A = this chain, B = another copy of it.
């Protein structure tokens, strides 16, 4: 079993340590839109019945039109996490059966012919890092060797699969479509897969590869529904890929993987005009930036849904904010980083700003 990763959202833990009622904390530890879209009507049958074909098909068509995936009907999944868990199996299913060649183990300069050596050599994946930690965890847990690389150029023919979160979490780094398509070409030529996680792509649709997916086999795009709409509790994401890959995911998830209410809500909201949601997020982002600037903090990256701050005093700022019952995200692997999610309104901006000002003095 692998060690769980600490994600954002640990308000209860923080309140236990620093006091206050969890409801009174200002939670800036996630990348979720803090202004949830009002829920559309959910028909009683969506709760009562097993999610039927009609409900699934409606959500898929709405997702296709929203994400612009052309002839691909995105597959609804119970959170992107559920398909991240399946990626090791996808790579295993794609492996040649009956590997017979001997392999040189360069570590100690001898020919290694044990099954173990072959398995390790065949099961190497690359994750552009640092990023969302669950990719590395899922692959390591399934016995894969995970190369945390910092650039596309470091991804080579030895990798059976590569993961790029675009734009990236937590630094907001974005890759242009042409670079990803060139990488896809290299991966595919070697029989490998490219995963592009567009979990934070909704505020910058121009980055998306969704419209190219119908032409690119071995490309897998993940979209998150809950972050942009502020409905992360729903557990809904979409996988966009050509039919053979989606059929595998569907088979492995089994029937009725996504709840009826989630499908019903997606069918409505993905057909709605989202420009007001985007404007609101941008307005909230501007408010956050003003507070961070006012406190003299250096913004090192981010997306419209979160901002990364780089500061040598990050650990102290984190603790100081906790004392003011404000939770942000810190990173074990980068002690000078803090990630600030959006506040829900200008009053919360001021609350953050005042807490940060007190740290300055």
Contacts and interface: CB of A to CB of B under 8 A. Distances in A.
A235 B1 contact: no
Contacts of A251: 1-2, 141
A32 interface: yes
Interface in A27-50: 27, 30, 32, 36, 39, 44-50
A12 interface: yes
B259 A50 contact: no
A216 interface: no
Contacts of A259: 78, 233-235, 259, 261-262
A36 B47 contact: yes
Interface string A112-123: 000000000000
Count of this chain's copies in the oligomeric assembly:
2
Contacts of A30: 49-50
Given A30-B49, A32-B48, A51-B235, A254 B9 contact: no
Contacts of A149: none
A230 B81 contact: no
Contacts of A170: none
Given A30-B49, A84-B254, 14 more contacts: A1-B247, A8-B50, A9-B50, A10-B53, A30-B50, A46-B233, A50-B226, A78-B78, A78-B259, A79-B257, A82-B257, A85-B253, A234-B261, A261-B261
4 cross-chain pairs, A with B, having the tightest CB-CB distances, nearest first: A233-B260, A81-B254, A235-B259, A36-B48
